[in-house]
A and B are shown apart, each in its own frame.
Chain A
Amino acid sequence: MSPIAVEVIIFLIKAVLIINGLLMSAAYLVYFERKISAWAQNRIGPNRVGPLGLFQSFADVFKLYFKEDVVPKLADKRFHLIAPVISIGIAIGVYAVIPFGDSFTVNIGGAATKIWLAVTPHVNVGILFILAMTSLGVYGITLAGWSSNNKYSLLGGLRSAAQMISYELSMGLALISVLMMAGSLDLTEIVHKQAGGSWNVFFQPLAFIIFLTASFAETNRTPFDLPEAEPELVGGYHTEYSSMKFGLFFLAEYINMVTACAIMVILFFGGWNAPFLYEALALPEGSPLLALTQFGVMAAKMIPFLFFFIWVRWSVPRFRYDQLMSLGWKVMLPLALANIAITGVVMVILKHFGIIS
Chain B
Amino acid sequence: MGENNIVVSYLPLIVMVAVGFVFGLSNVFLAEILGSRRNKTNVKLDTYECGMEPVKTARERFSVKFYLVAMLFIVFDIEIVFMYPWAVKFRELGEIGLVAMLLFMALLFAGFVYVYKKGALTWD
Contacts and interface: CB of A to CB of B under 8 A. Distances in A.
Nearest to B45: A73
B70 A165 contact: yes
Given A92-B19, A244-B27, A7 B10 contact: no
Interface in B1-58: 1, 6, 9-10, 12-13, 15-17, 19-21, 23-25, 27-28, 30-32, 34-38, 40, 42, 44-50, 57-58
Contacts of A153: 58
B105 A85 contact: no
Contact of A68 (B19, B36, B65): B36
A244 B30 contact: yes
Given A96-B16, A128-B84, A180-B90, A69 B123 contact: no
Contact of B31 (A67, A119, A347): A67
Interface in B35-89: 35-38, 40, 42, 44-50, 57-60, 62, 65-66, 69-70, 73, 76-77, 80, 83-84, 87-89
Contacts of A176: 80, 83-84, 87
Contacts of A90: 20
A86 B24 CA distance: 8
Contact of B95 (A152, A168, A325, A348): A348
Given A119-B12, A243-B35, A340 B91 contact: no
Nearest to B89: A183
A120 B73 contact: no
Interface string A245-278: 1011000000000000000000000000000000
Contacts of B28: 81, 84-85, 244-245, 248
Nearest to A133: B17
A18 B89 CA distance: 33
Interface stretch (A47-55, A197-205, A294-302, A329-337): A329-337
Interface residues of A, number: 89
A89 B24 contact: yes
B76 A149 contact: no
Interface in A2-53: 3-4, 7, 11, 14-15, 18-19
Given A66-B35, A150-B58, A151-B49, A15 B16 contact: yes
Given A128-B84, A340-B105, A89 B123 contact: no
B15 A185 contact: no
B10 to A, nearest CB: 7
Interface residues of B, number: 68
Nearest to B80: A172
Given A89-B23, A165-B73, A65 B94 contact: no
Name the residue in A15, A64, A244, A345 with the highest tally of chain B Cβ atoms < 10 Å from its Cβ: A244
Interface in A144-187: 148-154, 158, 161-162, 165-166, 168-169, 172-173, 176-177, 179-180, 183-185
Q: Which 4 A-B pairs have the closest CB atoms?
A: A92-B20, A244-B31, A89-B21, A93-B17
Interface of A: 3-4, 7, 11, 14-15, 18-19, 64-74, 81, 84-93, 95-97, 119-120, 122-124, 128-129, 133, 148-154, 158, 161-162, 165-166, 168-169, 172-173, 176-177, 179-180, 183-185, 234, 239-240, 243-245, 247-248, 321-322, 325-326, 329-330, 333-334, 337, 340-341, 344-345, 347-348, 351, 357
15 contacts: A4-B1, A67-B36, A87-B24, A88-B27, A120-B12, A133-B17, A151-B60, A158-B66, A168-B77, A244-B30, A248-B27, A322-B123, A334-B112, A340-B105, A348-B98
Interface of B: 1, 6, 9-10, 12-13, 15-17, 19-21, 23-25, 27-28, 30-32, 34-38, 40, 42, 44-50, 57-60, 62, 65-66, 69-70, 73, 76-77, 80, 83-84, 87-91, 94-95, 98, 101-102, 105, 108-109, 112, 116, 121-124
